[in-house]
Structure 1
Amino acid sequence: MRGIWMRWPSPFSKRLRDWLPYAVGVALLATLLISLAAVAIWQERGRQRERATLATQTIVRLLEAHVVDVISQADVLLRTVALHYHLPPRADARTTSSGQVARAFREHSELAALPGLEGYRALMPALLSLCVADVSGEVLIGDEQGDNIAARDDFQQARALPKSGLIVRGPVQETVDGEVRWVLRLSRGLRNESGEFLGMVSADLSTDAFAAVFTTLNLGERGAATLRAADLSMIYRHPWPANGRGVVGSKEVSPQLRAALAASPDSGEFVATTVVDGVPRINAYRKVAGLPLLVLVGLPESDFPSGWNLLDTSLLLVAATTLLVAAYAALQLYRSSKRQLDAVQRRYEAIVESSHDAIISKSLDGRVLSWNTGAEAIFGWTAEEMIGQPLLRLFPPDLLDEEAHILQRLQRGERVEAFDTRRLRKDGSTVAISVSISPVRDGQGQLVAASKIARDITRQKMLEEQIRTLAFTDALTRLPNRRLLMDRLERAQQNGQRQAEWGALLFIDLDRFKPVNDTHGHEVGDQMLISVSRRLQAAVREADTVARLGGDEFVVLCERLGADETQALRGAQMVRDKVLLALAQPHQIGELLLQGSASVGIQPFLGTQFTPVELLRAADQAMYAVKRPACVHQVPAAPQLP
């Protein structure tokens, strides 16, 4: 039987030999296709995860910029109050009653012509309270007037650390109009020119101030964005979980987040199930620059293709069926993955396109690769006009070197955090922007492009300029006030020291101005002061500074009067004579014709031997030394400083 078996194999054996090469071929081809499909899906999954990470990082940077914007608006108000409100010296605060201190506080303030604390709160309704405390912690002005906040840790930090800057505490619960609200407590210390601690200005910022920032983000149905404090206490979240705002103040987070923060405190990514709502998400976090805050953004894992489970199913089908089924399954896997990836890409593009900020990517040679509608709104150029064009067309001529410096920093692996600069619009006008730039690298870590986010800060700059104007100019005459005068006087002394040139202060006091107010009213008096200010500006040299100290007192700062003291005094006297002549002319106020005159004291100076305060006091004494009842006075040489 053995020989027969060998010479005449059975039909089954023959069929096996016939199909074996095909079976092996099919198996090999199937294995090759499966391997290629697996590699393709793995690569697509890797690219998808990179894009998902880029999407979350971009949203985190956008969210950080808007959070900084909200805090900065509140800080601008705190800085303004800290700049204007000067508390009485410590000795006065210890030897007077709280009511006297409060009155003295208001008398020292230079905001008599400006809105009070309620006026500042009106600029930002999210500030639930605003108060100012003295060195002992007693609240002199504000919602908590009469309370003592010396035991608060922000007050102790402001007192102990001269350069503590903006202090952020919270979230904490405060009762406002009978309602318990969650707030962030923002504080700044008040100090005089010598650095002595005088007190603190503090405000409670409602956590609802971040609602507009968070609700504008397009995170899909299950995406989430969170703002937490440095100790991971929750401040705000969008969307809120089923139990609503009961999670505010909670420090419960996933172990993956704590591990990621331990490894990279400033920024990073991690995948975890969110503790608050139990949704698995791909997350990115970022520490807010200069603030004890942390922003997090998570996109659900279900939005991204799983890939591998489908591949396993396809492998089982290929093992049990034909090569056609394997090829078909691989094709369907690719199409499914591609559709989901395209959906994620469209969502990412929707987020980018819905942003009011300019989101731009550029190649290493500076050419634009992407351009969103926010960029069109800010710069005026459409995507068709900008893609493929050099980004340098947005740079003013004096800032062309800025791009090369930015590229060098990116090549070193540095991120360019938010910095203020200027760019050109299509119509040739300039726009103030705040820019953040991050390097974009390929899978091998090579720098291939750069991602840029630019925010239009024109309105913020205008607000800062308005506040600066209020801080350094007289509200009635728009002349420099005492603070700006003292600053310019100090610089004039320093310039005179370097160049060995004399300067002079002319202290001007209007004669018989009080009867004008008493007889004709303060409105006529104000119009006369405005007329005096205009005449003074017209009478002095272009380089001179005319300032109003208050009431009917003005000061003219004359610089560069020469190296010879006699010649310098003669120059100052010539300016004085022009001032007296200009002020001696009648003032036409409505139907009234008012005769005016003034007394002028001159105090020359050379270098920084005396402080600005001493020079101003000497000029005041020189004015009183020559003040007479007559309308116009001739002034002798200034007295010597003590």
Structure 2
Amino acid sequence: MLVSRRGGDVGMSHLPSKNQHTFHPLHAQKTFSLEDVGQGVDQRFAGILDSLTNAFVSLDRQWRVTYINLQAESLLQKTREELLGKILWEAFPEALGSTFYRKYHEAFETLTSIRFEEFYPHLHKWFEVQAYRSKKGMSVYFQDITRHKQVEEELFTLAAIVESSDDAIFSRTLDGIVLSWNTGAERLYGYSALEMIGQSIHTLVPPERRQEWEEIMQRLAEGQRIEHVETVRSRKDGRRIDVSITVSPVRDATGKIIGASTIARDITKRKHAEKRQHLLNEASNALVSSLDHQLTLPEVAQLIVPTLADYCRIALVDEQQQIKEITVNHIDPEKIALVRELYESYKDRAYITYGVQRILQTGKPELLSTISGDVLESVQQSPEVLQIIRALGLESYMGVPLLARGKTIGAITFSSVQAHRYYTPDDLSFAQELARRIALVLENARLHREAQAEIAERKQAEEQQRVLKERMLALATTDQVTELPNHRALLAQLDQELERAQRYERACSLLFLDLDHFKALNDGYGHTAGDAVLYEFASLIRARLRRIDTVGRWGGEEFVAILPELQADEALLLAEEVRAAVAAHTFSVGGGIHLTCSVGMA
């Protein structure tokens, strides 16, 4: 080969010098002077020139073609007969004024060799040309590099795509040493190409993800392509980011795997959105599981830590507008007491810059993306508060009110102790949405409690009204002495029973019972004793009747018994039974007396 190319650059180490050219055909070696190449090329060299892989043309001082080898015929698409003896610019008039024309004249006039690459539109080809000035004219070596240019263009296009891609694209050895690093990788990971090329990719892999990394490398060594694996990587600033990576093996010409290329896409926002939605769903489920916020809010705090905070605090305002802490949670349970101590240290201060009490006072959210020196300066006068803040390692903070019907009913604070987690306005918006849902559930629970109390109060009033109505009805239909239905109630019951007997053609009997000599007893022993006798008489009658029978006081010492579905002969037997029972009974009046009764039947 006369021309050596590597990596898209043309090398000159194997090109002939101005006056001497060395050929290396497969069957021989021959060194000759360029002066030998010209008009009437010696037959000794013609065979050698025809065997060259490069095209060769010799020109005299008048630009006439004096020799053309087989490769030149093929590339120029003209035969020797068409070119030998012809002036080059007449044979190729389209080349007049072209780069070929200018470069050839430059070499001719300066008596120097020249090399260049140029596209020849007439043949739709790219040529690499080397022109050598000699005493007899000029020798031109050229070769078709169109395919090489196409590959080069494709590589340039690919490089441009890689460099302009929003995704991080980089390559590395099997040992993890970075070989290339695009602008997308710089943006994603925060490291420049100068910082990463030549360094280990392990810089990006968090310790807890090393096992995952080893598994990926093992699959890669087996020739597998790893697609869209979602994982976590570390940025230069220490922040953890969620990425989706695709890793492909890189092979050499023999097919051996020598490295890997990686495409990484930032999915942090999507993962955060998924985590937040999951938190909202779980918090909503916890909140509606019970109306008792003493149970549900601690569950919500367990969800907030560590998804959204390293520690949090939820407080409510009671009916007396006093702050009542509901729950505190911390990723380190041993520091929960420290969080409470922090609140106790500033809760009674006249002026508070940040925190639950301030939020409850203003009803406005708070956001401190970083706990700067200015923030700490505000508590310099309180060494104990400053000491607790430093002990907690507070890095970022936000707090939101719980608002219901325009009224602040509580507050939630979120705190981060991790250097890579800083709260943003987007985080604050999410916290407000979470607070909105919590406040809505709390308000609904309050309304439910009020409604239940109102319902209970209404039911109690209704029950009292029912009892009152029953009492009034009883007073209107019950005889106060005997506790039996009175005359009015008996008439109503008698109408019902007679109507039923007539409708169903059933029997219905009546007994009329009168206590004998009652007036004399009432006059002799008094009305109180008379009432007692009437009560005992009523009890004797009632004891002998069926459950479906009705006995009532008709008036004075007279009583009526209504006997549904009882025939006259059966009623007569019952009347005799009642009469005999009364006659045998000793009434508890005056040390005990005996009375009789008269019974009529209908």
Using CA pairs below 8 Å that are at least 6 residues apart, which structure has the higher relative contact order? 1
Query: How does the TM-score come out when normalised to structure 1?
Result: 0.29
Structure number with greater Rg is 2
Query: How does the TM-score come out when normalised to structure 2?
Result: 0.30
